[in-house]
Amino acid sequence: MLKREKKDMITVDKKLIEHNEFHIPFYKQRREKNSCMLVEKFNSNIKDGLIEFEDADCLCGHNQFYLLTSVDKHSVLHKTVMCQRCGLLQTNPHYSHDALRDFLESNIYKNLYYGGSYENYAYEKYNIFTGMYIYEDLKKFININQDTKVLEIGSAAGWNLLPFIDKKAKVLGIDYNNRFVEIGKSIGINLEHKTVYELEEKFDIIIINKMFSIILEPLNVLKKVKELLNPNGLLYLNVLSNERFDFNRIHNIRLYYFTIHSLNYFVSHCEFVRIRYGRHNKDYSFHIFKHGNKPQASDKFFRQNLRRSMRSIRYFNLKYKLKLFFDS
């Protein structure tokens, strides 16, 4: 396991992306009036200290960062930084556990992320094809039938579980958002409003689909997943792939911006071995892990990943300068 270093004050020195647009809220130009007012109110709550933030070390244990941006794509005040040792992009400081939960259950979250009601969003997703790619990726490595136990962490209203239910597998979905959980339960999907730490039964498949980057303590969750996963079980992660820095992906609920390389490094240090990864489209990559202990060497990874992250930011800066030049 990775060891956390002794806690010192977090330092964020040197801005790697300098243009004001990425450091000052710009909602007046960008957003519709309604969501603009919500963001403005939320930002003033942040400024007034009504929303609780916490400094956190990087997952590699380091605590010195370069600053990238000070607002997110919705203009919410939010710092995105790069670890000076391993190059992992992340949010810092980030919401406390309670502040994150409040935000995920708030109107501003619903408005910015779903645009309408949870019910409409869920019913659009209720289709066996929504989660079919997860089933297709996994069935090459494991028989899925009435004896298979499947857990999805962050299942929302459970739409990804439909192909597994179709094969008679025993499924459980857990989510923070009780509205989604109630919608899924109302149509008979086995969902619970709880955290992974409250579970004790074992599973053959554990899915974290597009949610891994919003988990506050992903290494602790992986430790728990390791306990819950049967010896021949599989862990399936689908994450936004951040090989190139893209400001449109900077959202205030995202905590970590993994790449194909960094995801493998951190998960392999929690005693998993990656057996397959790939992409379904340019945005997301999937990763299938099983139990095993072959962690990647740290020093080499830190060096290479920092270089890759720096290159990606240089490319972003250059592209942005060219855009300004041609727009003027």
Which residues of this protein are in contact with Zn ion, per CB under 5 A? 58, 60, 62, 83, 85-86, 88
Comparing CB distances to Zn ion, the nearer of 303 and 323 is 303
| CB 105 to Zn ion: min, Å | 30
How far apart CA 318 and CA 328 sit, in angstroms, is 16
Comparing CB distances to Zn ion, the nearer of 85 and 249 is 85
| CB 308 to Zn ion: min, Å | 13
Q: 229-240 and 284-291 as β-strands: parallel, antiparallel, unpaired? A: antiparallel
| CB 256 to Zn ion: min, Å | 10
Q: Which of 157, 182, 160 has the alpha carbon at shortest distance from 169?
A: 160
Q: How many CB atoms lie within 10 A of CB 191?
A: 26
Q: Which of 140, 171, 143, 177 has the alpha carbon at shortest distance from 157?
A: 177
Q: Which residues contact 220 (CB under 8 A, 6 or more apart)?
A: none
CB burial class (10 A; 0-12, 13-18, 19+) of residue 226?
middle
| CB 260 to Zn ion: min, Å | 17
Comparing CB distances to Zn ion, the nearer of 60 and 134 is 60
Comparing CB distances to Zn ion, the nearer of 67 and 171 is 67
How far apart CA 53 and CA 82 sit, in angstroms, is 18
Q: Would you call the peptide bond into 295 cis, given omega within 30 degrees of 0 as the criterion?
A: no
| CB 302 to Zn ion: min, Å | 7
Comparing CB distances to Zn ion, the nearer of 85 and 110 is 85
Comparing CB distances to Zn ion, the nearer of 60 and 77 is 60
| CB 87 to Zn ion: min, Å | 7
How far apart CA 285 and CA 212 sit, in angstroms, is 12
Taken in order 284, 57, 102, 161, the sign of the CA dihedral is positive
